[in-house]
Amino acid sequence: MMKRSLPLLAGVVPVLVAILSSMGGCTVTTSSSSSGGTDGGASSSSSSSSSGGGDAGGGGGCEFGEPNNTREQSTSIALGSAYTEICAKKGDVDYYELVAPNDAAGGVIKADFTNVGATGNLNVKIFSVTDNGEIYNHYGSANGQSQSVWFSAAPGQKYRIEVSTFGASDDNAYKYDMKASYTKIDDPSEPNQSKDEAKPLTKGVAMEAILSSGLKGARPVDTDIDDYFSVDLAPGKASVRLENVPADLNAQWFVIDPTGKVVTNKYGSNDGASVINDEVLIEVAGKHIIRVNAFHAPEVFGAEAVPPSYSQKYKLTVAQP
């Protein structure tokens, strides 16, 4: 009788294995682990072989992107795609990697973490892939709290998001949803971060531009925020007016003559102040450079609303009688 039943068992066992395998993911993560290791934890990295993500349709579930417990194993995610019901647990770390579009002026990346389980408190860190430096670190003020973090992105740069559990949260597994979105900075004058890239001005005609810089590494490069313009001036008086300055920015400008000499410069009396001098004395005829930069630069990351300097254009006018 046993010999006659073997063919039947041989057909049933693979089906049972397939069914049990399909019950992985979150079912596995809710089980407790007396060893204190990662098996049975929210990431289930020891039983996962998937490193998915990055598709425009998003993804999710407890097995999403695993194994991604180190930066070398980072899971690629797509900007604008939603990733839902990702599992987390104290001791588990997940890394995600994204690439900023190659827009001339860069943009702002905002990462939203919602539907956080009642027992969970996410600790979110942003890193630059270029130097592996930490850009920003943010965690919730209470369990179950949603979070949003943003940072200024440079064209074509890669960044990593590290997600873990903050503090001494309990051992219960929980879930969260994640979505990273991108907003392009609308600045047609870019690129103009150097004298060689200076954009020409027409005397008496206002030029509108945005003063911002994306993070190429963990820390901003001061000169990346500079804007350069060129204008032909004759000897005599000139007017330089920098107006409509965003409230989070203290701007300044320099006038540089054709010999490379700084004719004069001026900065705002406070954030958001216009910077105006109608009595600039021009001594040398020819192409002058107007360099605009920040005396007090705007923030490049945060957890509050994105500052107005990333969307509000300043207005620069150079004129002569």
Which amino acid is located at 134 in the chain? E
Burial class (CB within 10 angstroms; exposed 0-12, middle 13-18, buried 19+) of 231: buried
Range in 48-62, 72-86, 92-106 with the lowest mean pLDDT: 48-62
Q: What is the rounded CA–CA span in Å between residue 179 and residue 198?
A: 37
Element (H, E) at 98: strand 94-99
Domain housing 152: 38-184
pLDDT, tens only, 1-17: 333 333 333 333 333 33
Residue entry with tokens 């956080």: 116
Q: What is the count of structural domains for the chain?
A: 2
Does residue 163 sit in the same domain as residue 50? yes
Instruction: Please state the pTM of the whole predicted model.
Output: 0.80
Does residue 272 sit in the same domain as residue 174? no
Q: What is the CATH number of the domain that holds 294?
A: 2.60.120.380
Does residue 155 sit in the same domain as residue 239? no
Question: What pLDDT was estimated at residue 56?
Answer: 57
Is residue 10 a part of any domain in this protein? no
Does residue 95 sit in the same domain as residue 176? yes
Does residue 177 sit in the same domain as residue 225? no
Mean pLDDT within 197-201: 98
Specify whether the CB–CB gap between 106 and 214 falls below 8 A: yes
In which band, very low, low, confident or very high, does the pLDDT at 168 lie, cut at 50, 70 and 90? low
Does residue 180 sit in the same domain as residue 202? no
- The yes-or-no verdict on residue 244 having pLDDT over 80 is yes
pLDDT, tens only, 126-145: 999 999 999 999 999 999 99
Beta bridge partners of 164: 123
Question: What pLDDT was estimated at residue 45?
Answer: 29
Mean pLDDT within 189-218: 96
Is residue 128 a part of any domain in this protein? yes
